[in-house]
Structure 1
Amino acid sequence: EAARVVIATGSRPNIPGFLKDAKDRLVVNDDIFEWDDLPGSVAVFGPGIIGLELGQALSRLGVRVRMFGVSGSLGPLQEEAIRNYALKTFNEEFPLDTRAKVRSVERTDDGVRIRFSGADRSETTETFDYLLAATGRRPNVDSMDIQNADIAEDDHGSPLFDHYTLQCGDSHIFIAGDANNEVPLLHEAADEGRIAGDNAARYPDVRAGLRRVPLGIVFTDPQIATVGMTLNEVDERCKGGYAVGEVSFEGQGRSRVIGANKGLLHVYGERGSGLFLGAEMFGPAAEHIGHLLAWALQKRMTVSEMLTMPFYHPVIEEGVRTALRDLNRKLDIGPQPIEHCLDCGPGG
């Protein structure tokens, strides 16, 4: 018996039943790092974060890769224009179908035989040495008999909890990290562990903890970054009272010089207040640009205030300024004297 409980049991790979027909040639992400040498070919199921990162890495190491998706999703990308751009870019390296129709998976003497239909509806059969299941993760709460704890659960049997306190209902039970299946990222899990631990220790004096601005990064090439609200969330909050600024990195100076001129950045702002609300990006240096935008968002900066910040020349971050200027115009916010002064330099 315990007066307070913190559930932090993590998660495990979630493998659809039909993939198990690959038998001993079925692997998950952890298995790859135990290989002593590389196979000739790998079929990757799931173009999410793990699938994209490992699939592209294997392809660049010389492994023949084909990636299969079902729902049309691609990593964390929500905007159709950016998703289509990224999909086209990845397909330049290896076949990636986000809406594949897989007919069968079979273990044979030669490996794993997969029969599938592509976008043109033609049926194809290919054999791979291994099948990598990158089809998401499942919280490790299903074998804990949580139904006996007298707390509410969702449709999947996971405890319902408060986002800011991590408390399950008004109980003495708290849940943190991958176990709650909300935001399975290390920096979020670290914050949640602190919040849940503090609240469990001081229970029943439960307090809201600091939840940082959402920030997600995918370490592909080009990289992917998501910051703050998605475009759908912006639309729901602002009821159409918002604008989207954009920039293509194909013509961005520094990106062209270093041969990394692929990608798009979209930034969102609220009409009237001018507040910066979020961004989605597929392009160069997204891991760094994502941090800059997340910091600005957490400080509740307006788009105009962000444009008063320094931008060196020539750097990739100048593309961020281009997107913010485009957003500022679309928000109907007039020229900012400080920005123009900084652009002109001393005495300008």
Structure 2
Amino acid sequence: DDLPEFVAVFGPGVIGLELGQALTRLGVRIRMFGVGGAIGPLRDEKLRANADRVFNEEFYLDPDAKVEKIERVEDDNGAGVEITFIERGSEARLTERFDYLLAATGRRPNVDRLNIEALGLKLDERGVPIFNRHTLQTRLSDDTPSHVFIAGDANNDLPLLHEASDEGRIAGDNAGRFPDVRAGQRKSTIAVVFSDPQMATIGLSTAEIEQRYGACDCYAVGEVDFTGQGRSRVMRMNKGMLRVYGEQGTGLLLGAEIFGPRAEHLAHLLAWSHQQRMTIEQMLEMPFYHPVIEEGLRTALRDLNANLQLGPAIVERCMECGPGD
């Protein structure tokens, strides 16, 4: 009943994008500001560029904004926020007044008031205890584990509900059976942003793949552009892209990033395949109905399969760069 007219959103991450786009579709004008070029969880530069263009068709988004001043103001028009920034595209210096500023720039674990230093735990640069991802056990030193276990938002490793649930089970089991600590199963990573188009990440990102393999050509990429994908066109949701990554030599699925229609469902198919350590050829042997968006996934897999080099000689060369698991 009482929507603002103009809102500044800082942080084009998961929360900023979801709430900012929702406000836009409720009739609120927004400007969205980011730092460093990040858009949601996307790490693939080609998908970032695509998402940047698509979102800017609907609202102003500058993922690497130059903001010079933010000031709370109050006058005859009431309270508001005044922001001075360099406008993207025109490079003009603007000062605009907003009804509200929505700060969606991230959170940090609320551990600074627990006096955890008294436990002698080894902390990282953020003041969060260093822990083993498979046991959730913290450490007193590099060689000495402690009796404290940390899970969920407290460790801020993967702040997602399903990950927190898995971590809580592992940490609770190990705390209950201590000192008989056992590694728990960590599932393939999957994350979804409920923007429109949706975003999703599965398995390893391009940055993680490149960190693992370095500069060598030990992985290949396949893609589909949803602009011409049949079912997406029929539904008038034909925006975005899907990119999948496979390991040279073995043909194993390494990961994927999606910016497109029904990404939440495509992401589950990919995460299940990644969890089962399926090859691209095995995935292509699965049935694909017509006409469905999943046919776009098949297009990307076919593209990736054509770009892969398979065989023991390639596997041996790639193993010199990094492990395939």
After TM superposition, the score normalised by the length of structure 1 is 0.84
Aligned pair count? 299
Aligned-partner Cα distance in 2 for 1:233–1:41 = 38
SS at match of 1:304: helix
In the other structure, the counterpart of 2:43 is 78
Question: Do residues 224 (structure 1) and 199 (structure 2) align?
Answer: yes
In the other structure, the counterpart of 1:31 is none
Question: Do residues 253 (structure 1) and 230 (structure 2) align?
Answer: yes
For structure 2, the residue ranges without an aligned partner over 5 or more in a row are 140-144, 312-325
Alignment of 1:34-113 (within 5 A): 37-109=2-74, 110=77, 111-113=80-82
Moved more, 95-104 or 110-119: 110-119
Encode CA deviations 1:299-348: one digit per residue, 9 max, x unaligned: 000000000000000000000000000100100459xxxxxxxxxxxxxx
Question: Do residues 165 (structure 1) and 135 (structure 2) align?
Answer: yes
Aligned-partner Cα distance in 1 for 2:212–2:86 = 40
SS at match of 2:91: coil
In the other structure, the counterpart of 2:219 is 242
Alignment of 1:127-142 (within 5 A): 127-142=97-112
Aligned-partner Cα distance in 2 for 1:180–1:315 = 39
Residue pair 1:71, 1:98 contacting (<8 A) in 2 also: yes
- Which residue, 263, 276, 280 being the options, matches 2:257? 280
Runs of 4+ in structure 1 off by over 6 angstroms are: none
For structure 1, the residue ranges without an aligned partner over 5 or more in a row are 1-35, 335-348
In the other structure, the counterpart of 2:121 is 151
Aligned-partner Cα distance in 1 for 2:128–2:81 = 34
For 1:248, give the aligned amino acid. D
Deviation, 1:252, is 0.4
Aligned-partner Cα distance in 2 for 1:124–1:325 = 48
SS at match of 1:168: strand
Aligned-partner Cα distance in 1 for 2:269–2:125 = 37
Deviation, 1:121, is 3.3
Question: Do residues 202 (structure 1) and 202 (structure 2) align?
Answer: no
In the other structure, the counterpart of 1:264 is 241
Encode CA deviations 1:102-132: one digit per residue, 9 max, x unaligned: 1111122241111111334320111111110
Aligned-partner Cα distance in 2 for 1:70–1:123 = 18
Identical columns (%):
63
Encode CA deviations 1:276-305: one digit per residue, 9 max, x unaligned: 110011000100000000000000000000
Aligned-partner Cα distance in 2 for 1:294–1:201 = 31
SS at match of 1:250: helix
SS at match of 1:82: helix
Aligned-partner Cα distance in 2 for 1:112–1:67 = 14
For 1:232, give the aligned amino acid. A
Aligned-partner Cα distance in 2 for 1:235–1:63 = 40
SS at match of 2:292: coil
- Which residue, 304, 307, 317 being the options, matches 2:294? 317
Aligned-partner Cα distance in 1 for 2:238–2:310 = 29
Residue pair 1:235, 1:241 contacting (<8 A) in 2 also: no
Residue pair 2:10, 2:34 contacting (<8 A) in 1 also: yes
